[in-house]
A and B are shown apart, each in its own frame.
Chain A
């Protein structure tokens, strides 16, 4: 009796598992269609995320990284952001240089793919200002952000990367960006789900081929616009 029940349960589980495995490539294809719908039909490059008063900030905003221990720079003074790829002038920008560039601050709602939301203030330089300074070539269609957190990375469509609220953030809630949230520099954008916002940045590369990303390559939606 127990054996038979176990057999049915095993068969059902195996059946479900093999069905799911058979469906996976199809599901990923449909996910690419959804990326296209999100990027080409629903996304507006001029629609701005709502800003909140600082009194609405969330007290405890969770942080995460994929390294076993919190990623920290051995020599913060030597850190540079490398900007290269399809640009006329590749750059190595220090934190001071980034802070002297046009500054954007906003208090916005963060949407995590898990379903939680949290409000924080972020301070940084728009990616569009960096793109202007490195003299982006017309062939560029994507931006690829890479971190020193075990190689965590994200590929972005250019339109989202150049959105006025997409910034390279060096500050959070009126303070320097803490290591728990990606110090010294992280990507921030209220137009995307949290996992698209690369922390612990080391480089920004403009390309004409769609770059993947840490979670994206494992099956999470690539566009992930909210």
Chain B
């Protein structure tokens, strides 16, 4: 018995059996989102430069550490306002389309179950947080993703939805007046649209850091679909 376990463990540590982790739709939409987001953020920063503050013309202005900040040339796309607008209003279709494809795939395949954070995941999320804070020794059991990952991936999809909705609210503030009003008016919608940028940037930095610190094989899994790392279990 003990021998058996030992055997399995050493076998597993040598070369864990590869598992198919990501469908090609997930891999395609993941990398397409990265490229499209880079285009949206850089053209967005060029657009922002035309009026680098939030609030009615007379003020007062919303709290904003980037007020009247001109972003460096390497971080801007489009060359001037018209060019940036044309990039932004072209790539928006791609980003919304890719987002829609991803969500449709999750729903159709049932994959959403391993990604959507639900109230019952709260207990597991706390256990996971305790493990990361070294208040708990053993790694809590998990499915394809642990509850904190579910929380992060659910959150970022909602931020994506927020970016699209605030974008519509400032693209057509009269035709979608109800939506613009929902966000507190045109300048407030602009403000929230701008903040989604920094949430995306911050998420990406943490996301990449965790991949390489905690689970490097998950990087290859997002390229090839096959996972050979420490957390091969599935829901």
Residues of A at the B interface (CB closer than 8 Å) are 20, 23-24, 26-28, 30-31, 34, 38, 42-44, 47, 49-50, 58-62, 109, 111-119, 190-191, 215, 218-221, 225-226
Contact call B79/A20, Cβ cutoff below 8 A: yes
Interface string of B38-58 (1 = CB under 8 A from A): 000000000110110000111
> Is there an interface contact between B57 and A58, defined as CB atoms closer than 8 Å?
yes
In contact, A190 and B56 (Cβ under 8 angstroms): no
Given known A-B contacts A31-B89, A219-B86, A116 and B57 have beta carbons under 8 A apart: yes
CB <8 Å contact, B86 and A119: no
Among B47, B48, B51, B89, the residue within 8 A (CB) of A221 is: B89
A-B contact pairs, 27 of them (CB 8 A): A20-B79, A20-B83, A23-B87, A24-B83, A26-B90, A27-B83, A27-B90, A28-B86, A30-B93, A31-B89, A42-B172, A47-B175, A49-B174, A61-B57, A109-B186, A112-B51, A113-B85, A114-B51, A116-B57, A117-B57, A118-B57, A218-B82, A219-B82, A220-B85, A221-B89, A225-B175, A226-B175
Q: A43-B175, A60-B58, A109-B186 are in contact. List 14 more A-B contacts (CB 8 A).
A: A20-B77, A20-B78, A20-B83, A30-B86, A34-B89, A49-B174, A58-B57, A59-B58, A114-B50, A116-B51, A117-B57, A117-B187, A220-B81, A225-B175
Q: A27 near B81 (CB under 8 angstroms)?
A: no
Q: Could you say which residues of chain B place their CB within 8 Å of the CB of A60? A: 57-58
Task: Give the number of residues in B that approach A within 8 Å (Cβ atoms).
Answer: 27
Q: In the complex, are the beta carbons of A190 and B174 less than 8 A apart? A: yes
Please name the 6 residue pairs, one residue from A and one from B, whose CB atoms are nearest each other, closest first: A115-B51, A114-B50, A219-B82, A30-B90, A27-B86, A118-B57
Residue in B48, B90, B93, B190 whose Cβ sees the most chain A Cβ within 10 Å = B90
The residue in chain B whose Cβ has the minimal distance to the Cβ of A44 is B175
- B177 at the binding interface (Cβ < 8 Å): yes
Number of residue pairs A-B, CB distance < 8 angstroms = 84
Q: Is B124 an interface residue (CB 8 A)?
A: no
CA distance A113 to B83 in the complex (A): 13
CA distance A31 to B85 in the complex (A): 9
Which residue of chain A has the shortest Cβ distance to B50 in the bound complex?
A114
